[in-house]
């Protein structure tokens, strides 16, 4: 079982809603990630946090807003999403910056209606 | 049965046979590579990793080979079992500073009993 915990497992939201995805790890990792995965496609990197600071933003639309309240928690705030944003959102963590194994959670399935 | 690159997205093998999954990576400067297994409805699960200063690494029933000359990575699974059926992704770390893991397209492995 993964030690990266994501909630909720499933989320259905309307295009005018505001919701959040949450991620937690207790492995003492200092880097955390958000990936997006569409059906039958590989995961695509969205954001990287290193030591609680945003280090990589892969030109993600502003309707996705990440937040790292502390080294164990990572949130993804969602607002005014489009149906094409429906996907599996994966959180991951690693011990440090470079060359460390990245461990994934089971993901949050998001459907935008 | 051997898949050649990512042009053959599905690999079918008989239970007990060895499987070889291939991956062509894109960045000659990538220094770290990971193989993940993803079962239906789950997040990617770490299998094995290798750094660019190595050309082979073995785990339990799995071996990863790295050929930097041709930018090729392969995953060998010995005595393939039905539980090995999943999508397999190779991923390369393309971040100059920190982890920027980019996934390949993936290969579906089907194990026939």
B106: pLDDT strictly greater than 90: yes
Please give the pLDDT value at position A2: 60
Integer CA distances (angstroms), B59 to A39, B34, B48, B65, B68, in order: 29, 13, 7, 12, 20
B70: pLDDT strictly greater than 90: yes
Dihedral pair phi/psi, residue A97, rounded to 5°: -75, -65
Average pLDDT over residues B3-29: 82
Closest chain A C-alpha to B45 CA, distance in angstroms: 7
Beta bridge partners of A47: A34, A57
Looking up tokens 């639309």 gives A61
B96: pLDDT strictly greater than 70: no
- Confidence grade of residue B110 (pLDDT, cut at 50, 70, 90): very high
Please give the pLDDT value at position A96: 77
Residues B37 and B85: their CA atoms lie apart, in Å, by 9
- Contacts for A65 with CB less than 8 Å, ≥ 6 apart: A76, A77, A78, A79
Identity of the residue in B46, B89, B98 whose CB atom sits nearest the CB atom of A55: B98
Interval A71-100: pLDDT, tens:
999 999 999 999 999 999 999 999 876 678
Cis peptide, bond prior to residue A95, ω within 30 of zero: no
Chain A residues inside the 8 Å CB shell of B99: 31, 33, 48, 94, 97-100, 102
Of the candidates A18, A40, A19, A21, the residue with the CA atom closest to the CA atom of residue A32: A21
**Using the beta-carbon criterion (under 8 Å), do B99 and A102 form an inter-chain contact?**
yes
Question: What is the pLDDT of chain B when averaged over all its residues?
Answer: 89
Interval A10-63: pLDDT, tens:
999 999 999 999 999 999 999 999 999 998 899 999 999 999 999 999 999 999
Using an 8 Å Cβ cutoff, are B61 and B43 in contact? no
Please give the pLDDT value at position B63: 98
């Amino acid at each position: 079982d993964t030690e990266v915990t994501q909630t909720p497992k499933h989320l259905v939201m309307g295009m005018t809603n505001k919701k959040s995805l949450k991620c937690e790890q207790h492995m003492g990792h200092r880097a955390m990630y958000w990936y997006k995965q569409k059906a039958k496609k590989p995961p695509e990197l969205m954001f990287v946090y290193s030591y609680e600071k945003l280090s990589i933003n892969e030109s993600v639309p502003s309707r996705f807003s990440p937040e790292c309240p502390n080294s164990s928690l990572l949130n993804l705030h969602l607002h005014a999403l489009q149906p094409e944003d429906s996907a599996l959102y994966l959180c991951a963590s690693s011990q440090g910056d470079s060359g460390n194994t990245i461990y994934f959670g089971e993901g949050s399935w998001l459907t935008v209606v | 049965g051997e898949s050649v690159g990512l042009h053959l997205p599905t690999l079918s093998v008989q239970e007990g046979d060895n499987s070889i999954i291939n991956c062509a990576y894109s960045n000659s400067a990538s220094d770290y590579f990971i193989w993940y297994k993803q079962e239906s409805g789950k997040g990617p699960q770490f299998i094995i990793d290798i750094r660019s200063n190595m050309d082979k690494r073995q785990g339990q029933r799995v071996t990863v080979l790295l050929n930097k000359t041709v930018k090729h990575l392969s995953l060998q699974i010995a005595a393939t079992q039905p539980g090995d059926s999943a999508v397999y992704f190779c991923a390369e770390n393309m971040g100059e500073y920190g982890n920027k893991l980019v996934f390949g397209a993936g290969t579906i492995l089907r194990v026939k009993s």
